[in-house]
Amino acid sequence: MKSICKNTFNCPVEATIQLIGGKYKAVILWHLMSQTLRYSEIHKRIPNATDKMLAQQLRELEKDGLINRTVYPVVPPKTEYSLTDFGQTLAPILDAMCDWGTDYLK
């Protein structure tokens, strides 16, 4: 947790929501759990996200140390996103959210 002061939260749930509570943050993290993806691949998996919103959510996740952004110096530019080790620690939470959502949708 790089950009957030740990002492500003009143409870652990508040800290968790601060990190993954954005409109598409949990969904982005879910898609990055098993693989590295390019921006266009993430956008295809989250078609309702506007370019502006998706870019903002990715920047925040990177700033908070949950994802890596790798830019390759080629033409056209190639940018890939992957989870950091810190981001991987969210896997049990994301799995639980997926399980709950699956049960809810039944």
Domain boundaries, the chain: 9-105
pLDDT of 83 strictly over 70: yes
In words, the CATH class of domain 9-105 is mainly alpha
pLDDT recorded at residue 1 = 43
Q: How far is CA 43 from CA 20, 47, 58, 85, in A?
A: 18, 6, 11, 23
Question: If we measure between CA atoms, which residue out of 33, 74, 37, 71 comes closest to residue 54?
Answer: 37
pLDDT of 29 strictly over 60: yes
Average pLDDT over residues 6-10: 75
